[in-house]
Amino acid sequence: MLLSLVLHTYSLRYALPAAVMLGAAPTYVLAWGAWRLLSALLPARLYRELDDRFYTIYQSMVLFFFEHYSGVQVIIYGDLPKNKENMVYISNHQCTVDWIIADMLAIRQNALGHIRYVLKDGLKWLPLYGWYFSQHGGVYVKRSAKFNEKEMRHKLQAQVKTETPMYLVIFPEGTRYNPEIPKVIADSQSFAEKEGLAVLKHVLTPRVKATYVAIDAMKTYLDAIYDVTVAYEGTVDHKGQRKVAPSMTEFLCQECPRVHIYIDRLELKDIPEEQMYMRRWLHERFEIKDKLLIEFYDAKDSKRRNKFPGKGVHSKLSLKKTLPSLLFLGSLTASMLLTESGRKLYVKTWIYGTLIGCLWVSIKP
C-alpha cells in the first residue's frame, strides 16, 4: 500500500507538467496558425518578430516546470553576455534535457524566442512540434553521407537575408553520450584514434559538418560562438562510474539537484574558415570539454568534484519570467476545453495539425 502510494506520488510529479505542456500545444498551434495566415501578405520580418514572441511564451511556460517546479539549481561558470547576440551554440549532448539548458541560458539574455535548433531528421515527425520547429527556423539534418549541406545552407542564408535573430543550437556529437551504450563510446574513441585525434573520455568525437555549414553560411551575420559544457549532478554511482544523465521525466521528478553550465564565448576571428581546419579546431574544443568533465567527475580531491574550475554563480530565474506564460496558456487551453465546440476544435487541431505537419515536412525541409 505504501509502495503504491509512493509510486503514485512519483508519477504525479511528471504527469502534471507533462499534461500542461502537451495539453497547451494545440492551443499554441491554433494561435500561431491564425497569425501565420494573417501575416501571409506582410513582410517576413514582421511575421518572424511575432513568431518569436509566441515561442517565448510557450518556452517560458516550459521553463516554469524545468526550473521552478523541479527546484533545480542552475550554476553558471564563465561569461554569459547580458545582451542578445546572433550566435551558434555548440554543446556536449547527454540527454533530452540538454535542449532545455539552451532555453535556460537564452531566457537570461532575453533571447528565448530566438532559439532555432539543428535537429536529427527523424524528429520532424513529432506531432505538431516537428512541423512547428521547422517553421520557427529549425533545421533537420541527416547523418553522415545523407547530410544535405545545400538544404541547410539555403535555409540559414534565407534567415540571414530576413535578419532573423539567431540563437542556433547544435550538438556536434550527433548522438547522446550514454554510458549504458558502451559500443557507441568505443566506436567514437576508435574513430578518433584512427584519425590521429585525441581520444575523449566523457564526450564523443564531434562531427564538423553541421557546425561548419552553420558558421560558414552566417559568418558575416554572427556575433560569436558559445561553447557550452553541461554536467548534471547525481550522475555518478557509488563506484564513481558515470550514470545516464536525467531524462526529462527524471528531471521533473527532482532527481537532479544542480545543473552546472560552463560557457566560453568565442570570437569568429579565432575560428578557422576551412572545413579541414575547423574539424581540428572543433575537436580541440571538445578536448577542453573533456578536461572540464574529467575534473567534474574524476578529480582525485573529492572537494573538487561536482563543480567546474573557476567561480560558479547560482543563477535564479524570476517567476515573473515564467509564471505569466503558464497562466496565459493554461487559461486559454482551459477555456477551449470548457465548451463542446472548443473541445472539438482542440481534438481536430491535434489530428489535422499532425497530418498537415507530416505532409508539409515530407515535401519541404
The mean pLDDT of 284-309, rounded to a whole number, is 91
Contact assessment for residue 78 and residue 25, using Cβ atoms and an 8 Å cutoff: no
Amino acid residing at 74: V
Answer yes or no: are the C-beta atoms of 245 and 230 closer than 8 Å.
no
Report percent pLDDT > 70 for the chain: 96
Q: How many CB atoms are located within 10 Å of the residue 264 CB?
A: 17
274 has pLDDT over 70: yes
Of the pLDDT bands very low, low, confident and very high (cuts 50, 70, 90), residue 25 is: very high
Closest alpha carbon to 124 in 350, 349, 361:
361
Distance CA 171, CA 310 (A): 24
Sign of CA dihedral 140, 101, 58, 81: negative
User: Domain coordinates of the chain in residue numbers?
Assistant: 1-363
**Element of type H or E holding 167:** strand 167-170
Label residue 365 by pLDDT band (50, 70, 90): low
Q: Residue 11: its pLDDT value, please?
A: 62
Neighbours of 204 (CB within 10 A): 25
Mean pLDDT for 131-142 is 91
For residue 4, is pLDDT > 70?
no
Distance CA 313, CA 307 (A): 11
pLDDT of residue 10: 53
Question: What does pLDDT average to over the chain?
Answer: 91
Q: What mean pLDDT is predicted for residues 117-129?
A: 91
Does pLDDT of 3 surpass 50?
A: no
pLDDT digit string, tens, across residues 73-89: 999 999 888 889 999 99
72 phi/psi in degrees, rounded to 5: -65, 145
Written as nine digits, the cell of 52 is: 518569436
**Res 83: pLDDT:** 87
Question: β-pairing, 87-91 with 224-232?
Answer: parallel
